Amino acid sequence: MNKKQVLFSGIKPSGDITLGNYLGAIKNWVDLQNDYDCYFSIVDLHAITVKQEPKDLRKSTLEIMAIYIASGIDIKKSTIFIQSHVPAHTECSWLLNCYSYIGELSRMTQYKDTSKNKDQNVSVGLFDYPVLMASDILLYQTDLVPVGEDQKQHIELTRDIATRFNNLYSPTFKIPTPSIPKAGARIMGLQDPTKKMSKSDENENGCIYILDSDDVIRRKINKAVTDTVGIVQISDDQLGVKNLINIYSVVTGLSFNDIEEKYKGKNYSHFKKDLGDILVAELSPIREKANSLLQNKDELLKIAKENSDKANYVAQKTLRKMKKKIGLISL
């Protein structure tokens, strides 16, 4: 039997999980776990590149783990773990720092955008986190990394670092391939459809969270911006409606044409009511199961421990190989 290829991905626990996170990542992972040996991490070390409230970080970390499981990621098929529970990530990151260049890190978009603000102190962690991301990926001999378009640059850096190390010593890392989701999985803000849906949206109606109540989900969809055209259709002149059709399509599997045909001659309120019902049907079972898991914190931590042990076993094999090639003495 052929061994499955390895897939790695993760979400940063820097706030509540959004509909965009779910439709753009987690929902796809549930299907991918049948075809790949999957490692899904809660990347808490990446979260602390900017200041976090400790209690909120702990809360978000466990919530993401619960949402992973509640969404259908099977701990018998996939490895779900908290990044900081596998020390190899930070040790590998230091080793790879010695094979990474300041010039290439300074070209990373997030660092460039943040450093433009002269009044903001940029931490070394924010500058260096792409190397930690490379470590996350390379430790598991990853073949495929599902990422958004905005993270593609980091996968290219990971490939460069891995190739540099392999050429300097001998083949040590697999060279990972990014998997960019189809455009339909890019969910935009409900109040500003020119920007990606974000947990940092200052408008509370701009973003749906996975743990939102049914009433809140419906209210946010009802308040979503549309236009005065009054036609449910895909058009770049109707970005709000286009975004809502996109959400409808990703959740139901219906094509844009099917949705346009279904709502021909119907108004936005009719369309929004149906979309609200569809989202409630999709998210309500996930919310209920996640909340149930969060009621039993000890069981969730037990799952975290068992999975981190599995991840650590694999990561340590790569780390030992790296250290031997570099010339570090192992006991």
Mean pLDDT on 183-212? 88
Residue 286 is predicted with a pLDDT of 97
Q: How far is CA 67 from CA 80, 145, 245, 290, in A?
A: 11, 20, 25, 5
- Per-residue pLDDT at 44 exceeds 70: yes
What does the pLDDT read at residue 179? 87
Distance from C-alpha of 271 to C-alpha of 293, rounded to nearest angstrom: 33
Q: Is-contact 267 225, C-beta < 8 A?
A: no
Cβ count near 86 (within 10 Å): 28
* Phi and psi torsions of 223, nearest 5°: -90, -5
Question: How far is 253 from 241, CA to CA, in rounded Å?
Answer: 17
Average pLDDT score over the chain: 93
pLDDT for the residue numbered 201: 81
What per-residue confidence (pLDDT) applies to 116? Answer: 73
pLDDT exceeds cutoff 60 at 231: yes
The pTM of this model reads 0.92
Single-letter residue type at 5: Q
pLDDT of 80-102, one tens digit each?
999 999 999 999 999 999 999 99
Q: What is the CA radius of gyration of the chain?
A: 21
